[in-house]
Amino acid sequence: TKPPHYYHKQDCLCLYKPKNFHWTEKTPISNYIIPWTACWIYFYEIWKEKKVWLGPEATHDQNKEKV
C-alpha cells in the first residue's frame, strides 16, 4: 500500500503545500524541513500499523500541483 502524503512519481515526501510555503536559499532547512520530516516519519509509522493517518493534513486541490 502506498503511504499518504507522498509524491509517488517524484519519490519524495509531501511535507507542505508548495503554494503555501515560499522556499528561498536563505530559508534554513533545520527550522522547517527537518522537523516536518521527523513528524512525517512519526505519523507514517503509526499509519503503517493502524492504516489511518493521524497527523495534520491539508486538503489537496483537484488539480495536481507540480513540485
Q: Taking a C-beta distance cutoff of 8 angstroms, is the pair 13, 37 a contact?
A: yes
12's CB contacts (< 8 A; 6+ apart) are 6, 67
Q: How many CB atoms lie within 10 A of CB 43?
A: 19
The per-residue pLDDT of the chain, averaged, comes to: 86
Residue spans of beta strands (DSSP E) within the chain: 6-7, 12-13
Q: Give the mean pLDDT of 2-13.
A: 89
Closest C-alpha among 16, 29, 7 to residue 57: 16
First CA to last CA distance, the chain: 22
Rounded average pLDDT over 23-46: 93
Interval 11-23: pLDDT, tens: 999 998 888 888 8
The answer on pLDDT for 54 being more than 90 is yes
